[in-house]
Amino acid sequence: MYCAIVIPGFHLQASLRYEPGLRERAVVIVDEGGKPPRIEQLTRAARRAGIRAGMTSTQGLARCPELLVRYRSPEHERMAGDALLQCAACVSPGIEATGEGVGTLDLKGLPPAAHRQAAEGLIRQLGRQEMVAKAGIAATPGLALLAARNARPILHLMRPADLHELPVSALAPGPELAGTLRRLGIRRLREFCDLPPEGIAARFGEEGVAQWRCVMGKSTRLLRLVTPPETYEEATDFENDIELLEPLLFMLRRFIERIADRLAAAYLAVAALELRIGFAAGADYARAFPVPSPTRDVETLFRMLFTHLESFQSPHPIRSLHLAARPCKAVKEQLGLFETTLRDPNQFHQTLARLSALVGADRAGVPVRDNTFRPDAFRLEPPAFHAAAPPGQARKGSGGARGLALRRFRPPRPAHVFTAEQRPVSLSMEAFSAPLGESSGPWLTSGEWWDGQAWERAEWEVESADGRLYRLSQQDGRWYIEGIYD
Amino acid sequence: MNSTGYCELHARSACNFLRGASTPEHLAEAAAMLGIPAVAVHDRDGVYGAPRFHARARELGVRPIIGCELTLEDGGILPVIVLTRGGYQNLCKLITVGKLRGTKTECSVTWAELARHTEGLAALTGDEEGHLRRLLAGEDAGAPPAFLRKLAGIFGRGNVYLEIQRHFLRGERVYNRRLIALAAQTGLPLLATNGVCYAAPQGRQVLDVFTCIRHHTSLDLAGTLLSPNDQRHLKDAAAMEALFADVPEAVSNTLLLAARVEFSLENLGYHFPTYRGMDAAAMAAMLREQTYAGARNRFSALDQKVRAQLEHELDLIIRLGIAGYFLIVWDIVRYCHEHHIMVQGRGSAANSAVCFSLGITYCDPLKYRLLFERFLTENRKGAWPDIDLDLPSGDKREQVIQEVYKRYGRTGAAMTANVITYRGRSAMREVGKALGLSPDVMDRFSDLYANGDFPHTIGLEDQLGMAGVAATHPRWRAVCGLFQAIYGLPRHLGQHSGGMIIFEGRLDSIVPLENASMPGRVVAQWDKDDCEDLGIIKVDFLGLGMMAVIQDTVELSARRGRPVDLAQLPEKDPATFEMIRAADTIGVFQIESRAQMATLPRMKPESFYDLVIEVAIIRPGPIQGNLTHPYLRRRRGEEPVTYYHPDVMEVLERTLGVPLFQEQMLKIAMVLADFTGAEADELRRALGFHRSEEKMARVQVKLRSALARKGHKPEVIEQVVAAVTSFALYGFPESHAISFAHLAYGSAYLKAHRAPEFYASLLNNQPMGFYSGATLIMDAKRRGIKFHSVDIVHSGWLCAVNPDDSIRLGFCVVEGFSAGPAGQLLEERARTPFHSLPDLRRRVPLSMRVLRTLAGIGALESLEPGRRQALWNVLESHDTDDLFQAPAEAPAFPAMTAGEELEADYEGMRLSVARHGMELVRPELEGVLRAADLPARQNGEYVTVAGAVICRQRPGTAKGFVFVSLEDETGISNAVVEPRFFERHRRLITGEPFLMISGRLQNVEGVIHIRAAHIEPLETGNRCSADSHDFR
């Protein structure tokens, strides 16, 4: 026997998991990839307001000005799908990711009397994960799926014929097949089953035959078994940027509860947490929290994050939140508090990971130049150790005469520069002051003018009276010494 | 020219599509402000913006120089500057050769072609995309001097300049040092330019967005594709001299080069086209001969008055040297007549007795006392009259256009261009893409335009807010700024709907030509305004759907044995006028719009001239000038007929003292202010001149003082000036109204007397006019005409009239069924009729999509009864051709319900001959009136109507009021929506296909409206509605 579990309106549910308060309001999910983008799924309140799937969001807003429009989030969907599989894996080791928001479980080994109970438990657990699910139990995966789509919330299908009064939409046919069946006036599965099988093959191709065999209970298949993801994650993008700690902690606690619930079902504990906070300004803050004593106790885990976030300050409002838990087998013994986890001394990855945990993930890695005119703009990327440069390949630009070498000051040193006729004539900083002779420049660059990150910069090369050559820069009205030429 | 100073000789305007961020006018203004004496504007492979820059620069005292960035076969860009007229002609030819070789967007000139056309041109070495920059970046030290030698060999040593630019960029020093060294080595002069891409520094932002558009990327991802700084703006002499203090000759050379430029667009070398290579005398003689030959047939009598008028016109035409132009048009018209293509000259040409005699127009200007000066005067100041020819839209018009190409050659005739500019939707789409806004946000922004940019009443900020970009959005400021900056800038070049310029075999020496995206079409790089400004004469071949309908109706009627001669229509046909007075004018030319239909019962036309007035009166001019209502009141005798002055009584007599036509305005100026014909025309042009408010003010002063000089009373002066000003801009020429009224009357007559043929022709020429095919069918059915749907056995490609006057729909109405496969089907059917569905499928390879559609709409029922049965059978894959295979018995499907049939009809044809969708929902609509019920209701009664929205209009003259037309199974009801109510329900009104509207009924003088007080969407399930005619 098989149990199919279906999250109806999966894209919408995946999104509203993080805004459960909106479930009773008129909310639609729009697929931005569509041309034009159209409403894909909607809440009951939206349907009551006269909104239908397939409308554009403008049409939806016409019928309900209070309508909330949300866009599909692949990230939310991935995590909701992961949660579904992780929950399902607690019921059966044989699980299949059948489709978006659909999983199928092989119930082999479970006594028939326990089938319904298992499905109920799974639905309850998904409920704690903020997802409303339906389950169908039947002899074949296909029938189980059909049953699940039409369950309230559980349908234990004894005979295929029990499905025959359902509408053909229960088959979730592709748009072309759906249109043809509609045009032929085939509304119920019974009418579909009554079509001659050879006629179906000649007209509806493989899809039609597969659907027909499925609904007749004549086909079964092996599940394409999957292993549920090993990392337990929760994440959300806030609709409105967050500036206070309280809502952030509220959401974090919810995340921890959900993760702990899934881990409990799998008899696992948290070995490490990784927190990532996205800011409105674009950058991310990331921090790893090793859990010295693996646990799934919500309070303990929450306290770890809370202690850190209490002193956390951000110059920008928070836009997104991501929490990932690395699971491990729950152990009963307390490990030594300072016991190293570096079992393998050659594991440079682990060293780097610890380094990242200490200085922040954005401050460890391999610097890569940003594609911009902004001098020194770079980002850090994880090292690609497996892709070492082939031997003999020199770095571009490393050879040949390229002018004088510049010793850069990191960071550039603030300086006072006096100008005459818009050119620098003297330079002073701390205990140093020098009149300037020749100068060249300014070299002007500017960019990112389209949002709050606009920058503008002028650079000069200047020669001091003692013959030294400096590179100066001017930004936001302030002068800096960028470096000195050898 | 001063010996010190600086001329910018490499500037790009926004007409260098996506490579420049300022309009040519803006560049000229900035140059004038900075005191730059001369500017060369370069377009990429074109001179698109040259006339606009020329006109504005001349006004401001800046010398316009023509440049061009030529794309050579190796991909390098070579900027050239035109020195002489010969150089300009060479440039036009080079561009034309390069453009006509490639697709619409490609151009490539070979070095060999360049070498043959360099006389009168100077070459610059260019900037980033130039050859020299690439060569200097390469490793071959000998390549740059070799390239310069090659260039000097082609252009001559004195005509090659090493272009040097400084934009305060690190690294340019090295390049420029090498450039200076090269100059010393080769002896070629340095030339400082700023490679200008925008007039002022803030233009850099627009250029960055354009760069993103060109590279299909966004600002966040574009990186170093964007500008490093904002230095590519126009700079004055002091700034450039400071920049090039070490090489002052680079700056002074700009003056020397500018001084060498002899050419200006004023001496373009254009002269009026000749007819078949004849000299002026021969053309004059031929024109006279053909005019008199025609006049004998066209005028009832060739009396003294006619002769005098013809002589007056001929004298002027010959003196102005445009006899060839008239003969060219006459020749084209003759071609149309010979090939049975309806043709009618419209516009001011109808004021000419010569045009009437030559058969170009159908309106006797003497009979209607039309003013020839509206068409042609001695002093046209560079602008020449266009003769506009109305042709049946579609293949026949294309046939005429192709004939013109055939006669004058691909380089002798071209369509005028139409510069497409960034408007609301396109501007937001591009800005949104560049700034990474969500596509849904951009769609929501566009949806708020309600299917048209004009007229628009939401502020940009509100519109952005409604689209989901709040003022707190980090990029909100950038969105607003960029949207406004880009709005109105040129986007790409299209072709004008019908304007053609002809210059027997030599047009490519006047303006570069290029391929249109439409096969077989060649387009000039200038639009019609540019051509007009430069004195280039053109012919407009305008496609009129109604001409095609009339021609088809006449031919169809003749084939059915009830011919109709359009030239012999009775002048006051009672049935026709009765129909018009009842506003039963759906499908009739010009008087079918909601506004026209609302006026007809008040106007009550009784004669042809009433129709002329009807056509002209519902126009922005008379409406804005508050002239419509006074005329209607006077017509009904509700107010006395008065005149501004006794002297204009004759001029205004026919319109009861109210000036409705442009000709009347001109005559008033001539009579009351002693304006000459030329002065009066100058007045009209100035008032209609959208580019200059200054000119408008100037002529108003002139008119006012002329009236005062004649001693008119101040109140008369004010009345006349107000009337002239208010509608001169939009006023309709009487001759134009007469031409349109001919078509209006002709189409009304055909509707009244040849209704089946007329409706069939209307359906065959869709899309056109105001109403969709579905609405036309409903209208025809109300007149008792029966329709049969598409049938595989009986239908032809076109809709046809059966002997019993019923109409059989043709395959042309079937969605996705194109003429090719349909023709194949008809050919096969003509050979042997189809006897079964398998027989049809075996003999004609129709696509599954078409077969499904045909089955769905019931077109296969003659071969296979039942739409569903037919659909089941056509769905069977037909890979094998087993003659002996017994067909499996089809399951029994229930017949489609009426609703299902309607849905299938609309899905397959966007119309249905069976019933209106409202008929099916009617039982569920309690208390909702039908359109046919409204006339019996009292004025002021609160009523509710519902229907498919077939028209949404918001005329610019209606002060923000919106008119919505709802169609139901009995007819059309009209609702008026107040501006504030519209803004509250904007999305609903503009987006819903079916509406239910409640409000007070206005039932006055047979005109019925509902003033909308409540509006809601009407749920109709899957039932379909016709397409709506929105906001045009």
What pLDDT is attached to residue A343? 44
Do B474 and A61 count as a contact with CB atoms less than 8 A apart?
A: no
User: CB of B726 within 8 A of CB of B659?
Assistant: no
Do B888 and A194 count as a contact with CB atoms less than 8 A apart?
A: no
Residues in chain A: 486
Residue A313 burial by CB count (10 A; 0-12/13-18/19+): exposed, middle or buried? Answer: exposed
Inform me whether the pLDDT recorded for B735 exceeds 70: yes
For the stretch A356-378, pLDDT in tens is: 656 766 777 778 888 898 888 88
Do A180 and B438 count as a contact with CB atoms less than 8 A apart?
A: no
B chain contacts of residue A53, beta-carbon cutoff 8 Å: none
pLDDT band at B801 (very low <50, low <70, confident <90, very high): very high
Do A443 and B168 count as a contact with CB atoms less than 8 A apart?
A: yes
CA distance A443 to chain B (A): 5
CA angle B273, B277, B283 (to 5 degrees): 75
For the stretch A246-277, pLDDT in tens is: 888 888 998 999 899 888 888 888 888 899 99
The whole-angstrom separation of Cα A116 and Cα A119 is 5
What pLDDT is attached to residue B687? 65
What pLDDT is attached to residue B271? 81
Kindly state the helix (H) or strand (E) to which residue B455 belongs, with its residue range: none
**pLDDT higher for B885 or B460?**
B460
- Interface mutation vs chain A, best among B229, B230, B437, B853, most A CBs within 10 Å: B229
| Average pLDDT over chain B, rounded to an integer | 90
For the stretch B63-74, pLDDT in tens is: 999 999 999 999
Three-state DSSP state, A269: strand
Do B168 and A373 count as a contact with CB atoms less than 8 A apart?
A: no
Check: complex ipTM more than 0.90? no
Do B226 and A373 count as a contact with CB atoms less than 8 A apart?
A: yes
CA distance A478 to chain B (A): 19
pLDDT band at B880 (very low <50, low <70, confident <90, very high): very low
Tokens of B823: 């023709």
Q: Are strands A134-138 and A154-156 parallel, antiparallel or unpaired?
A: parallel
The whole-angstrom separation of Cα A46 and Cα B398 is 51
For the stretch B603-615, pLDDT in tens is: 999 999 999 999 9
Tokens of B557: 């009627």
Do B443 and A36 count as a contact with CB atoms less than 8 A apart?
A: yes
For the stretch B646-689, pLDDT in tens is: 888 988 888 998 888 888 888 888 888 888 877 887 777 776 64
The whole-angstrom separation of Cα B574 and Cα A246 is 83
CA A159 to chain centre: 41
Residue of chain A with shortest Cα separation from B1019: A50
B chain contacts of residue A440, beta-carbon cutoff 8 Å: 173
Alpha-helix runs per DSSP H in B542-627: 545-559, 574-581, 594-603, 608-617, 620-624
What pLDDT is attached to residue B331? 94
For the stretch B325-341, pLDDT in tens is: 999 999 999 999 999 99
Residue of chain A with shortest Cα separation from B202: A449
CA distance A73 to chain B (A): 13
Tokens of B713: 């009373």
The whole-angstrom separation of Cα A236 and Cα A239 is 9
User: CB of B418 within 8 A of CB of B494?
Assistant: yes
Do A450 and B231 count as a contact with CB atoms less than 8 A apart?
A: no
What pLDDT is attached to residue B630? 86
Residue of chain A with shortest Cα separation from B866: A184
Inform me whether the pLDDT recorded for B471 exceeds 50: yes
CA distance A132 to chain B (A): 28
- Region B212-226: mean pLDDT is 94
What pLDDT is attached to residue B236? 96
Write down the residue that tokens 């229960």 correspond to.
Answer: A170
CA distance A59 to chain B (A): 6
Strand blocks (E) in B744-871: 787-788, 800-801, 807-808
For the stretch A422-468, pLDDT in tens is: 899 999 887 778 889 889 989 999 999 998 789 999 999 999 888 88
For the stretch B750-774, pLDDT in tens is: 999 999 999 999 999 999 988 999 9
The whole-angstrom separation of Cα B493 and Cα B47 is 12
Tokens of A399: 């050879």
CA pseudo-torsion sign B390, B392, B395, B399: negative
Do A183 and B893 count as a contact with CB atoms less than 8 A apart?
A: no
Q: Give the largest CA-CA distance in chain B.
A: 101
One-letter amino acid for residue B132 of the chain: L
A chain contacts of residue B226, beta-carbon cutoff 8 Å: 373, 447
Do A198 and B443 count as a contact with CB atoms less than 8 A apart?
A: no
Q: What is B133-180 written as a DSSP string?
A: HHHHHSS-TTHHHHHHHHHHHHH-GGGEEEEE---S-TTHHHHHHHHH
CA distance B480 to chain A (A): 11
CA distance B845 to chain A (A): 17
Inform me whether the pLDDT recorded for B1031 exceeds 80: no
What pLDDT is attached to residue B691? 46
Closest-CA residue to B353 (of B325, B338, B373, B333): B373
pLDDT band at A391 (very low <50, low <70, confident <90, very high): very low
Write down the residue that tokens 């956390």 correspond to.
Answer: A312
Do B988 and A63 count as a contact with CB atoms less than 8 A apart?
A: yes
Inform me whether the pLDDT recorded for A386 exceeds 60: no
pTM of the model: 0.80
What pLDDT is attached to residue B267? 86
Do B443 and A194 count as a contact with CB atoms less than 8 A apart?
A: no
Other CB atoms within 10 A of residue B391 CB: 26
Give me the torsion for CA of B577, B578, B582, B586, rounded to 10°: -60
User: CB of A457 within 8 A of CB of A389?
Assistant: no
- Smallest Cβ distance to A196: which of B468, B891, B894? B891
User: CB of B516 within 8 A of CB of B523?
Assistant: yes
- Interface mutation vs chain B, best among A57, A70, A450, most B CBs within 10 Å: A450
Q: Which residues pair with B82 in a beta bridge?
A: B121
CA distance A413 to chain B (A): 21
What is the distance between the terminal CA atoms of chain A, rounded to a whole angstrom?
79
A chain contacts of residue B872, beta-carbon cutoff 8 Å: 184, 199, 203
Inform me whether the pLDDT recorded for B1022 exceeds 70: no
The reply to whether B436 touches chain A by the CB within 8 Å rule is no
Three-state DSSP state, B239: helix
CA distance A72 to chain B (A): 12
DSSP B925: -
CA A165 to chain centre: 40
Residue of chain A with shortest Cα separation from B891: A195
**pLDDT higher for B732 or A226?**
A226
Inform me whether the pLDDT recorded for B6 exceeds 70: yes
A chain contacts of residue B875, beta-carbon cutoff 8 Å: 180, 202-204
- Smallest Cβ distance to B168: which of A57, A63, A444? A444
The whole-angstrom separation of Cα B671 and Cα B682 is 16
Do A452 and B474 count as a contact with CB atoms less than 8 A apart?
A: yes
- What are the backbone angles phi and psi of residue B696, rounded to the nearest 5°? -60, -45
What pLDDT is attached to residue A396? 44
Inform me whether the pLDDT recorded for B1026 exceeds 90: no
- What are the backbone angles phi and psi of residue B112, rounded to the nearest 5°? -65, -40
Do B875 and A203 count as a contact with CB atoms less than 8 A apart?
A: yes
Inform me whether the pLDDT recorded for A283 exceeds 80: no
User: CB of B783 within 8 A of CB of B806?
Assistant: no
- Smallest Cβ distance to B1017: which of A50, A196, A372? A50
The reply to whether B965 touches chain A by the CB within 8 Å rule is no
Write down the residue that tokens 């329709």 correspond to.
Answer: B787
pLDDT band at B314 (very low <50, low <70, confident <90, very high): very high
For chain B positions 439-458, those within 8 Å of chain A (CB to CB) are: 439-440, 443-444, 447-448
Do B988 and A62 count as a contact with CB atoms less than 8 A apart?
A: yes
The reply to whether B228 touches chain A by the CB within 8 Å rule is yes
Other CB atoms within 10 A of residue A21 CB: 7
The whole-angstrom separation of Cα B665 and Cα B673 is 11
Write down the residue that tokens 């109409």 correspond to.
Answer: B807
B620 contact partners, CB below 8 Å, separation of at least 6? B727, B730, B955, B956, B957
Inform me whether the pLDDT recorded for A157 exceeds 60: yes
Do A199 and B876 count as a contact with CB atoms less than 8 A apart?
A: yes
- Interface mutation vs chain B, best among A177, A183, A446, most B CBs within 10 Å: A183
| Average pLDDT over chain A, rounded to an integer | 84
For the stretch B945-959, pLDDT in tens is: 999 999 888 877 677
- Region B632-644: mean pLDDT is 89
What pLDDT is attached to residue B733? 83
The whole-angstrom separation of Cα B773 and Cα B127 is 56
Inform me whether the pLDDT recorded for B692 exceeds 60: no
How many helices and strands in chain B, by DSSP H and E?
Answer: 43, 23
Q: Are strands B962-968 and B971-977 parallel, antiparallel or unpaired?
A: antiparallel
What pLDDT is attached to residue A91? 86
The reply to whether B471 touches chain A by the CB within 8 Å rule is no
Closest-CA residue to B16 (of B522, B513, B507, B525): B525
